[in-house]
Amino acid sequence: MIKLHDLQFVPFIAEDEITTAIDKLAVRFNQDLEDKNPLFIGVLNGAFMFASEVIKRFKFDCEVSFVKMSSYQGTQTTNQVNELIGLNEEVWGRTIVVLEDIVDTGNTIEVLSKLLTDKGCKDIKIATLFFKEEAYTKKINIDYFGFKIPNKFIVGYGLDYNGLGRNLTEVYQLKSSNMTNLVLFGPPGAGKGTQAEVLKQKYDLVHISTGDVFRYNIKNATELGTLAKSYIDKGQLVPDEVTINMLNAEVDKNPDAKGFIFDGFPRTEAQADSLAKLLDSKGADVSAMVALEVDDEVLVQRLLERGKTSGRPDDADENVIRNRIKVYYDETAILKKYYQKEDKYFGVDGVGGINEITDRLSTVIDKL
């Protein structure tokens, strides 16, 4: 996630996907325009990056010009299209390729096309990297597009939000929800439950501990409890399908939540993927994985100590405890990489006083 001015944006189209789309467009330009000596007209400011990438892939004679028009103010498109500045080339009788970063209502290209037609252009082709077909209200044919995208506000790859974001090499979309969703991570005994209790008050979030939900179901001898018990007693993971369905149901019980603290979930990549999907369906995402880092031997001692009062059978047996820690490193620790790839992993020292550790976690959360 990135922040530009007051708004948050989440990744939408990756750089390699954009490159592939431009490669494909370039193949078509090279086929269609080989002996036409086209004049490429990039529409500033947004199209500078797209124009440069397309034009450097064109293998035949061509000319390049840039014009300036603007139809955007903030995130709302306006009907006002400014005048055209900067076209000094002779366009009469020529083949023109208008290069746009994005076509939405089509106001800009409609005005530009008319202007170019009035100046006697022979053939005007419209090429845009992004095409918001749903928002398009004009009749002019869009000859080339890289991506058809839904009617969302996007930034990056030349496109801006009030001046910022043009330099981003991938495309981001406006985050449609301002939920804060934390994955509280760390091995068993790291103190996730304790910290979750504090953080949920402090940030007004809903705390979901999958371990607690399983234990509740075991205590009440539900079908889910019976199913989960055999795994939990051995310190193994409950199968993904069961856990994911349960988690989805818990999230759906809280439609008005400002956000969630996920404690003990996700524990596998499949769970992480399903969480991303679930949150995406609410226009939200995982804000961060905050991980409590604690040494193994400290964990074993803490859990044995907790076992004296917690009544949890999986805390009473050192072998089960060690198996849970092993499962964490074998199966769960890969999620660190998963969230690191998204720049969302934050490790926090989990040894110290409760308040001290809360402060460390808050320093991370307050910056999100």
The catalytic site residues sit at 192, 267, 306, 312, 324
Considering only the stretches 36-44, 84-92, 229-237, 289-297, report the one whose residues sit in contact with ligand AMP under the rule CB under 6 A.
229-237
- Cα–Cα distance measured from residue 108 to residue 68, given in angstroms and rounded to the nearest whole number: 10
Of 185, 260, 265, 345, the one binding ligand AMP by CB under 6 A: 265
Of 211, 259, 307, 350, the one binding ligand AMP by CB under 6 A: 211
Query: Binding to ligand AMP by residue 207, rule CB under 6 A?
Result: no
Query: Binding to ligand AMP by residue 294, rule CB under 6 A?
Result: no
Query: Binding to ligand AMP by residue 165, rule CB under 6 A?
Result: no
Task: Write down the least CB distance from residue 260 to ligand AMP, Å.
Answer: 14
- Cα–Cα distance measured from residue 172 to residue 27, given in angstroms and rounded to the nearest whole number: 26
Task: Write down the least CB distance from residue 327 to ligand AMP, Å.
Answer: 7
Q: Look at the alpha carbons of 213, 214, 219, 220 in this order and tell me if their dihedral is positive or negative.
A: positive
Query: Binding to ligand AMP by residue 271, rule CB under 6 A?
Result: yes
Q: Which of residues 26-65 bind ligand AMP (CB under 6 A)?
A: none
Pairing of strands 76-77, 72-73: antiparallel
Of 38, 146, 165, 188, the one binding ligand AMP by CB under 6 A: 188
Question: HSE (CB half, 13 Å, CA atoms) of 168?
Answer: 24
Q: Which is nearer to ligand AMP, 97 or 196 (CB)?
A: 196
- CB-CB contact of 31 with 81 (8 Å): no
Place of tokens 């086209």: 38
Query: Binding to ligand AMP by residue 302, rule CB under 6 A?
Result: no
Cα 43 to Cα 48, 51, 95, 127, 155, distances in angstroms? 7, 9, 16, 11, 16
Q: Containing H/E element for 187?
A: none
Residue closest to 368 by CA, chosen among 292, 291, 286 = 286
232-261 footprint of ligand AMP as x/- string (CB under 6 A): x--xxxx----x------------------
Q: Which residues bind ligand AMP (CB under 6 A)?
A: 188, 210-211, 214, 231-232, 235-238, 243, 264-265, 267, 271, 324
